[in-house]
Structure formats: structure tokens, C-alpha cells
Amino acid sequence: MTAAKRILRKAQRQAYASQRESTAGKIMKASNSDTKLFYKLINMQRKTPLINTKILKLNEKTAEDGPSIMNIWQEHFQQLATPTIEENFDTEKLELVEIQNNIIESIEREKGKLWILLRNLYKGMSIKVKWEGQCTEDVMVLQGIQQGAKLSTTLYKCYNNVILDSILKSGLGACIGDIQVPAPTCADDIAVLANSTADAQGILDIVQHHTSRDLVKINPTKSEAVLYNAKGSNISTLKFEDNDINITNETKHLGIKRNEQNRANISERIRTGRATIYSLLGAGLHVRRGFSPMVAYKLWRTYAVPRSIYGLEVMNLLAKEKDMLELAERKILRQIQGLPNNTANMAVYTLVGAEPIAITLDKNVLTFFMNIVRNPGTIECEILRRQIVFSDQRGKDFINRVEKTLSKYNLKSSSYYIENPLNKMEWKRLVGIKIKEYWKNECHNEKMEKTSLKYIEIQNNPLNEAHNIWKSVKNNSKDVKAGEIKARISTQTYIFQAKRAKFDPKFYLYFISVCQVEIKPPSTGGVVTERHPFSNHCEVVRHVSEKKFLFNTTLYIDIFCSYFAMLSL
């Protein structure tokens, strides 16, 4: 029985390995020929098997079979899509709005197609719930904004503007100088900023007043408060609709976690990036699994990097935090290329044509800066102008980070671009040229300093152009494994016989498998150099080099016949 289980597990592992190798081959093949298929295969790697619940409860109802579960889902969405009048709602505005809407519709319906478009989007709209291949009956949507539509964020702003105008007129909330910033908002996400509990509670009361008039109910359990620089202070509880708002050390707003120290958790972001790339490739991440480094880097760049650095352009990062991100990225790049830890950093980037994560962060900062500058009437632009006037050069303001980044890439000062903003394409082209020049100079400077880079030719555009070592490799496991050896030889991280002899005092005898003889080291003090390796003292293979064969016998012996590192190509 035990032997049968062992055989079964062996067959399962072989089948899984064969399937994984087949999938990797399809991904590598599709990366160059079929972009749509490439991303389809990647998404299949990311998806987890669908597991539907067997029991569903709603209020006091319980369903345990498919039709009953579908009915409960239909009832649940029917409640969400149908307007309800609660006790705390102000119905006076509802009556006025109905009269106004009828007047507006009678006036605007003949003036253009926009009103008809908006009316048709939300008139007679219905949804269905799909469960285990079957669909429920239509559920009419009588309230709410259609999620995922292009106009959804704009329509959210139409609703939020009334609330935001009331907050500004109240004078409550935080200020930067004479600029009011009480409630930064994106779509339906409102963040309340206040210097005191009284101001924060006043803003919450304003929001509650408007939501009750608009027949909107906000879930107070999804609202949290974070206290900045409030050590030793007694903060009373905040309430919304008679419910206490939870005061916590950390909360998430617009996908960015905010904590008491206002710092980014870099370790968590690194784990997120690593988990993302491993979820796509798993054990196939290493080059010795036969997966192309070019394709692996494409996945790292497309999926992992954006998740790792999301929102960091608006946060003030410490130098050590940037180093942590770069170190984690270099570790991944070494792994996908099969390079050891002692490989020069520049070689790790230039071989695969990778863009350092620090440069990506700088590009995001410059893009965000120009997006603000191109909209001079916004609060963000007013804050930026104020920082230019009042900020200290040694401060941690956003404008100081922008100035350092502009100076780093030989761009003009922020004051110049505020007065002379560039459009999106012009700025993207200018930043791309400057970053390309900067990185190319950095590559050449490091190549001059490090002897291990003397065999690496810097490409014309090292950010986007891979080295010929990987560019010439075909998308199959055999060529990829051979490319690893080429990369290690070119970076001088492949240990030859002569190098091993220099650091091993007991290296007196060497066994060469191709001729099955023992060779003593040279008599010149036991010193072995690259020009006089042990293979030159073998009578069996010496005649090959004497005939001046084009193939280097030393390289052949070191790569193919080493007793210590047997390789098969």
C-alpha cells in the first residue's frame, strides 16, 4: 500500500511538472506573438478556483440549495436597488427635488442629446444575479450610480459637491496657511482633516445632515479615524448617526494605508510585490526552470512593481526605504537571470534592460508634479505654489522632493514649469530623454570602476533594451538554461578551475572526466592562472589547442567536464 501511494504521488508530481512546463512554454511563446493570449494565460495563473457557499443567510432566512440561494440573492439586491424612507431621512427635500427634476426635464429634453443619454442610462435599468450557471429574474435598479461606467466618478462628484461646499462655508477643518483643506475627496471617498475633535465632529454632522436630506445611508462601521501627532492628548469619541467611529492606528484610503507616523510600510509592500510575482510564476521564477528572464521581467514590471510602489509618489520616503525597495528588486532580477549575489548591480539591470525602481518612483513624482501644474485653479496647485514660497530647502515637503528630482535629471526648476507647463506628451518625452541620459552615464561610470563589467557592453538605451545575451535567447527551456551560463561568464561570476585553485590551498590534484587522468598543478610555485589552467597540462587534450582549433579547449573543459560543476547544455 505504501509503495502504491509513493508511485501515485510520483505520478502526480510528474503530471504537475509537465503541466507547469507546458504552461510556461505557452506563456513564453505568446509573449512575442500574441499579446491577448499572453495576458489571458497570466490571468489564468492568478485566478483561484471558484468555491461557492453551500449555506446563505439573510436576516432570519437560511438557504441550503441552489434555487433558495438565488432567491435570497435576488431579495438582497432588490432591497439595495429600491429606495426606502427611514425615520432619520428628511423628506422635505425629496418633494422639492421631484418638482425640480420635472421642470428641468421639460426644459432640457429638447436641447441636446446629453440629457437623453443620462436619462436612458438610469431609466429602466435592471440587473440579474448569476449563480452556478443560472440567472435570477430581472431586478429593477431604482437608485444608485452604475458602477464601473465612465461617468460614475463624475456623477459621484455631482452629489458630493453640495456636501463639500457646505464644509468649506462652515470654516471647519484643517488649513494649510490660508488654504482650506477640510475634506479631500475622490469620487465617493471623503477624508475629513481637522486639528481638533470639535472641528471633526462638526464636519461629520454636516455630512450627516446632507445624507439624511439626500436619502443616503452611510455605514459608520466602515469609517475610521487616525490621530497624527496626538501623543498624550485626550481625544473624545467621534460619532456619526449616534454610532461611535473607531479610532485606530492605521486605516486605508484610496488604496493607501495611513498610520499615525504617516510612513509607508515598505516591508509590507515588498512582500506584496514578491507574492504577486510568485503567484504568477511560482517555482518557475528561477531561470534554471527554463523560464525566459525577458518574459519574467515583463511580468514583474507589469504586475508586481505597480502594486509595490502605488501611492509612494505622494509620501516622503527615507533613503533607507528606497534602498530596501531597490534591494528587493535586484534580488528578484538576480533570481530570474540565475546570477549570484556578488554580481555587479549594473550588470543585473543592463543584461535584461530593467528600469530601477528608484527611477520609476522619480518618474511618478515628476508626472504627478506636472499633473498638478497643468491645473492652475485647483487647491493642489495653490498648495504647491505656497510650498515654493515658504518651504525650507532642508524640509520634507513635496516640492523639495520635486526640486531634487528635477536637479538629478538636469531639468529646470519647479518655478519655471509652474509658469510654463508642458502638455502630457511633451513632458513624458522630455523626462524620458533626460532619464535615459542619466542612466546611460551611470552605467558607463560604474563600468569604468568595476573590472567585472569589462565584458558587458552597455546598450544604447539600457533602460528598455536588453543585452544580446538574453535578446538572442529563444523562448525555450534549453536556450534559456544556456543563456544563464553566458550571463555568468560575461559577468565573471562563473568560477573556473584556475580561480578555484587560487582560493583553495588543498587543490593539488584535479580530475578531468573527459580523459580520466590526474593532473598536477604547474611547478611554478603551485600558481595557476587563467592562461595556464589545469587542462593545459593534460596530455590527452593538449593536442587540441596545438592544432589551433577555433573552440577554446579551456572553456570546454571548464564548462562541460568539470568534476565540481557538471553542466549539460
Joined together, the cell numbers standing for residue 396 give: 520634507
- The predicted structure's pLDDT at residue 402: 92
Label each residue of 232-273 as H, E or C. Answer: CCCCCCCEECCEECEEECEEEECCEEEECCCCCCHHHHHHHH
How far apart CA 163 and CA 516 sit, in angstroms, is 87
Q: How far apart are CA 395 and CA 295, in angstroms?
A: 41
Determine what percent of the chain falls in helix, strand and coil, rounding each to the nearest 5. 55, 10, 35
Q: Are 412 and 421 in contact (CB under 8 A)?
A: no
Residue 115 C-alpha cell reads as 440629457
Measured between alpha carbons, how far is 439 from 346 in angstroms, rounded to an integer? 10
Report phi then psi at 280, rounded to 5.
-85, -40
pTM of the model: 0.78
Contact 364, 328 (CB under 8 A): no
Grid cell of 463 as nine digits:
533602460
The 8-class DSSP code of residue 53 comes to -
CB-based contact 322:361 (threshold 8 Å) = yes
Cα distances (Å, whole numbers) of residue 486 to 245, 467, 569: 60, 11, 11
374, 423 Cβ separation under 8 angstroms: yes
pLDDT score for 334? 92
Q: Is 281 within 8 Å of 292 (Cβ atoms)?
A: no
pLDDT for the residue 538: 56
Distance CA 165, CA 203 (A): 12
For 517, phi and psi rounded to 5 degrees?
Answer: -130, 160
Note down pLDDT in tens along the chain; length 569 residues.
Answer: 688 888 888 888 888 777 777 777 777 777 777 778 777 777 777 666 666 777 888 777 888 787 888 888 888 888 888 877 777 777 777 778 788 878 877 777 666 677 777 777 777 778 888 887 788 888 888 777 776 667 777 777 777 788 888 998 888 988 988 888 898 888 778 888 888 888 888 998 898 888 888 777 777 778 888 887 666 556 667 888 878 888 888 888 888 888 877 788 899 999 999 888 888 876 567 777 778 888 889 889 988 999 999 989 888 888 899 999 999 999 999 988 889 888 899 999 999 999 999 999 999 999 999 999 998 888 889 999 998 888 877 777 889 999 999 999 999 999 999 999 999 999 999 999 999 999 999 998 998 888 888 888 888 888 888 888 888 888 777 888 888 888 888 888 887 766 666 666 555 444 444 444 444 554 444 444 444 444 555 555 555 545 444 344 444 444 444 433 333 33
User: CA-CA distance, 82 to 396, in Å (whole number)?
Assistant: 49
Q: Is 144 helix (H, G, I), strand (E, B) or coil?
A: coil
**Residue 279 to residue 273: CA distance in whole angstroms:** 10
CA pair distance 245, 237, nearest whole angstrom = 7
Residue 384's alpha-carbon distances to 176, 180, 188, in angstroms, are 11, 14, 25
Contact 431, 410 (CB under 8 A): no
Please report, for residues 55, 67, 143, 145, 244, the alpha-carbon distance to residue 129 in angstroms, rounded to integers and kept in the order given: 17, 12, 17, 18, 34
> 357-373 vs 398-408: helix axis angle to the nearest 10?
120
DSSP string, 332-400: HHHHHHT--TTS-HHHHHHHHTPPPHHHHHHHHHHHHHHHHHT-TTSHHHHHHHHHHHH--TTS--HHH
DSSP three-state, residue 162: helix
Please work out, in degrees rounded to the nearest 5, the angle formed at the alpha carbon of residue 450 by the alpha carbons of 445 and 451. Answer: 130
